Chains A and B, each alone.
Chain A
């Protein structure tokens, strides 16, 4: 499908005199920054909502007389997530829900639009994994390269390495859909509209637990993502996510 966007990463890099290459398409860049804000809001407000009942259960039901598998008190003294991690910072369930349920729409529909755009502009091909890339030796090689702070294949520097592909595929096609679907399962009206949600996750309280685990996995992804951006050259990385242009490493301007 023809688009005005350069097919980032799928096509050979368009070299400029200073070795700047077009790295990220417009859809990717918009979605990235919208998500940067949205996911932070979702994590902060979600942790505040957790404070309203800081226990997690498996199954259809779960309340004070039932046995939780997780209590916030096993992580934080006082049994509540501290204010510097929550939105708002003072206990306010109603306001946290307003943040969470409004921004949930941005997260959900943003993901949907990104998936459509990635298929349309060819970006989805950048995540295609070949079987040989997944061989244990290839994976080990890439891990060693990461530990040596070498993140790019000199022959094709704009291509994702296999650990990147795995991380983004898990994030975009597993964790984000999971956090959205388990979120919907907690809605009593959605359970009536789509009863299969309850069967898929084994009940509302199981969905609530999986929602929390998926959210914490996304938080873990963000942490590693930020560390690697810093390690791989933050100015170049951040500029490429704003303007789209990325300088091929190892070349001085």
Chain B
């Protein structure tokens, strides 16, 4: 070994190399070409792979009552806080209507009472937040497929978009999310009216929130106010299919 290259020097070089690699990652992560060419492709690759590896209707694990979280924490918007929403809370959501429209043959608006009178599905499932925590709770509500059936979704519809009553960020942008037809028609995809056998609290998305059990928490739109069937996500808000997707580059496919 050359005398000019000392061991200490080499250890230092390794550390400096690792450090500059991390700094280089910052620059690469902000580079539009690298994002488009590799970094942001993983979203599609993972979705394709996971869909390939699983059955269309493969169910998420359902748990026993004794496996439920003692406390199910809230996240995201705790209270939309708009005058309009406050009025709905005051009247116990009797006037809350959820129109199902877009690419449907029979646009229909559903009241909370109508949803409650439909065949309900109860499921004890695990909620996985993108941050890493999990909570297990019991959700009850009609299948989304039932509503889509009533409205008669056209074959040209590829996505179902959920428009919500909460407003986020300084710009007070409306929350929205979207899923494709595979998840929309999945047997466990329900519009939850109750958590742990009690009507949804404001913190958990009263009166109606989406449960799409094979994806992370931010896909589970709360305060659902309108359901729209579309052929493409391009025309909606930022065009990436969801609030967090638009404002912070979260993956549209949140199965992982």
Contact = CB atoms under 8 A, between A and B. Distances in A.
Interface of A: 37, 40-41, 44, 49-50, 52-53, 55, 60-66, 84-90, 93-95, 97-99, 101-105, 186-195, 198, 204-205, 208, 226-227, 230-231, 233-236
A122 B74 CA distance: 54
Contact of B50 (A52, A63, A193, A235): A193
Given A40-B18, A65-B70, A89-B26, 4 more contacts: A60-B126, A65-B71, A87-B25, A191-B61
Chain A interface main SS type: helix
Given A53-B132, A102-B41, A193-B55, A187 B126 contact: no
Contacts of B215: 188-189
Contacts of B134: 60-63, 204-205
Contacts of A226: 11, 14
B236 interface: no
Contacts of A52: 130-132
Top 6 A-B pairs, shortest CB-CB distance: A189-B255, A102-B42, A193-B54, A65-B71, A63-B133, A53-B132
A189 B254 CA distance: 9
Contacts of A85: 22
Nearest to B75: A63
Contacts, number: 170
Nearest to B38: A102
Given A62-B133, A188-B214, A235-B2, A193 B53 contact: yes
B68 to A, nearest CB: 8
B21 A40 contact: yes
Interface stretch (B86-94, B107-115, B193-201, B245-253): B245-253
Interface string B41-58: 111011001100111001
